[in-house]
Amino acid sequence: MLRTRRSPEQTAGRPGRSVPKGNNVVAGNDSGNVSWFRFFPATRTIKAGQSVHFSIASKSEIHTMTFGPQPSADLVMVQPQPSGPPRLQFNPFMFLPSDPVLPPYTASNHGNGFLNTGIMDTNPQSPPPSSVDVTFPTAGTFRYECTIHPGMEGTIKVE
């Protein structure tokens, strides 16, 4: 009998096992002490007018789904003061939702296609949500990134 052996890379963690079905995208995944800074699946295809249900699986990380231009590479904003030390402030464009209620994504939100879910986490005691729905009324290919983890990116294809 012929058997297929899996390499250690294929069996360790196996993030592919967690790929959700339907119009779901899951950010991150924990596997033992390893956190996967990826979106599952990396590309999700939906029909125009449908919504994507973004959620977070990682118990140890926070993530955002941010469309359009990335707000800034700087997690912390430095504001010089007339006197004394500069004021340090977390960049709200990275952490907070772009809108009080997320509107449909049209690639021209805020004039430049910016839409940020804001931080999500899995802690029910904390203010950030663990899931967000975004509706895509028009066809197109829309890239998004996590502002917290450079290189953590995904694509929504709307047909």
| Contacting residues toward Cu ion, per CB under 5 A | 63, 146, 148-149, 152
Nearer to Cu ion, 26 or 102 (CB): 26
Nearer to Cu ion, 26 or 146 (CB): 146
In terms of Cβ atoms closer than 10 Å to its own Cβ (0-12, 13-18, 19+), residue 151 is exposed
Least distance in angstroms from the C-beta of 30 to Cu ion: 13
Nearer to Cu ion, 53 or 149 (CB): 149
Least distance in angstroms from the C-beta of 152 to Cu ion: 5
Nearer to Cu ion, 102 or 152 (CB): 152
Least distance in angstroms from the C-beta of 62 to Cu ion: 7
Nearer to Cu ion, 13 or 106 (CB): 13
Least distance in angstroms from the C-beta of 65 to Cu ion: 9
Least distance in angstroms from the C-beta of 86 to Cu ion: 27
3-state secondary structure labels for all residues of the chain: CCCCCCCHHHHCCCHHHHCCCCCEEEEEEEECCEEEEEEECCEEEECCCCEEEEEECCCCCCECCEECCCCCCCCEEEECCCCCCCEEEECHHHHCCCCCCCCCCCCCHHHCCCEECCCECCCCCCCCCCEEEEECCCCEEEEEECCCCCCCEEEEEEC
Query: Which residue has the CB atom at the shortest distance from Cu ion?
Result: 146
